[in-house]
Structures are given as C-alpha cells and as structure tokens.
C-alpha cells in the first residue's frame, strides 16, 4: 500500500530564521511558524488556540529563507513531517517533530526593497538530499 507524508502550513513566522552550515558545508535554516484556530464555544464565547510548527529548510531554499523571511511575515510551507531524536545541552534525550519544507512561498506585501522570489522549490537534484 502506498503512503503519503505531506504537511501544508500557512501562518506567520514566530522568530527570525536561523541559518547554519552542516559539517559538510550544506546550508540549513530553522524557524517556527504559528497557525491560529478560532471558534465559538458552546456559550458563544470566542476561543483561540495557537499551534507552533518547527520548520527546516535546506540548500538554496535555506539561504533565501534566512535572507528574506523575518519574524511576523506570513508564509506558505509545503513539506513532509520528520521526527528525530537529539541530545540537549544537558545531555538529555529529546524528540522533536519538524516540517522539512520542500516548497516555501512568501505571502503578504513585499517589504521595502524586498526582491524575494514569491516561491522557492529545490532543484530536481536537491530532492535527494532531503
């Protein structure tokens, strides 16, 4: 049976992107995106819940995200969910689930002098790196 692992997130950046290089020189960028859910409860009171999503981008997409995205900017993310384990600074084992972005689309009005492309996708040969 075939399987699908696809996530689509439309929200606002919760912090500025952080760009770094791996030991092999590959660019990787991490940032968080907030999505909001609003509804009326049974007593007709407005309710709201914010969900935070960890986003990871690689290669040229990572470099462009670090260059053009800023806290608060709206963004469309399309990618796959990935869960991984890591050790924190105190040596404790932690688990995190992230969206590994394969498409990033900048939303909203362009900033002053912003020359950002509206959509970023990896080149065909970069898909294998994810």
Angle value at C-alpha 109, between 10 and 100, nearest 5 degrees = 30
| CATH H-level, domain 7-129: superfamily | Nucleic acid-binding proteins (2.40.50.140)
The pLDDT score that the predictor gives to residue 108 is: 80
Check residue 124 and give its pLDDT: 47
User: How far is Cα 76 from Cα 86, in angstroms, rounded to an integer?
Assistant: 27
Q: Is the pLDDT of residue 122 over 80?
A: no
pLDDT of residue 109: 67
Residue 53 vs residue 120, higher pLDDT = 53
- pTM value surpassing 0.85: no
The chain-wide mean pLDDT, for the chain, equals 88
> Is it the case that residue 114 has pLDDT exceeding 70?
no
Instruction: Give yes or no for a contact between 33 and 11, defined as CB atoms under 8 angstroms apart.
Output: yes
């Amino acid at each position: 049976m075939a399987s699908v692992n696809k996530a689509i997130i439309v929200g606002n950046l919760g912090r500025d992107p952080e760009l770094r290089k791996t030991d092999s020189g590959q660019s990787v960028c991490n940032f968080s995106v907030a999505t909001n859910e609003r509804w009326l409860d049974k007593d007709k009171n407005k309710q709201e819940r914010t969900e935070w999503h960890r986003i990871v981008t690689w290669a040229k997409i990572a470099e462009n995200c670090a260059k053009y995205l800023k806290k608060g900017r709206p963004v469309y993310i399309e990618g796959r969910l990935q869960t991984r384990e890591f050790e924190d600074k105190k040596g404790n084992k932690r688990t995190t689930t992230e969206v590994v972005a394969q498409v990033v689309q900048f939303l909203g009005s362009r900033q002053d002098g912003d020359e950002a492309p509206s959509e970023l996708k990896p080149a065909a040969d970069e898909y294998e790196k994810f």
